[in-house]
Amino acid sequence: MGRTKSQYILTRRHKQTIQGKNKLRSSSWWEQEVKGKKPLAVCKRCHAVYFDEHWHTSSKLYEAYKGKPGVREELCPEDTWIKAGFHGIVNYEGEVLLKNLTDLEFKADVIRQARNIGARALKRDPEDQIIKIEDRGETVRLTTTENQLAVSIGKQISQAYKGGKLEIKWSREDAPARVIWSAPKSKIKR
Can you give the pLDDT at residue 95?
92
Rounded Cα distance, 164 and 178, in Å: 16
The DSSP code sequence of 62-116 is: HHHHTT-TT-EEE--HHHHHHHHHHTTSS--SEEEEEE---SHHHHHHHHHHHHH
Q: What percent of the chain has pLDDT over 70?
A: 73
Domain coordinates in residue numbering, the chain: 5-75, 83-187
Q: Which of 172, 18, 34, 151 is nearest to 95 (CA)?
A: 151
pTM above 0.85, yes or no: no
Q: Which CATH number fits domain 83-187: 3.10.290, 3.30.70, 3.40.50, 1.10.1390?
A: 3.30.70
- Position 27 scores a pLDDT of 43
Residues 6+ apart with CB under 8 A from 136: none
Residue 175: predicted pLDDT: 65
Predicted local distance difference test score (pLDDT) of residue 72: 87
CA–CA dist 34, 18 (Å, integer): 22
Contact between residue 79 and residue 63 where contact means Cβ atoms under 8 Å apart: no
**CA gap 19, 1 in Å, rounded:** 26
Please report the pLDDT score of residue 91 as a whole number: 72
Which of 8-12, 47-51, 58-62, 88-92 has the highest average model confidence (pLDDT)? Answer: 47-51
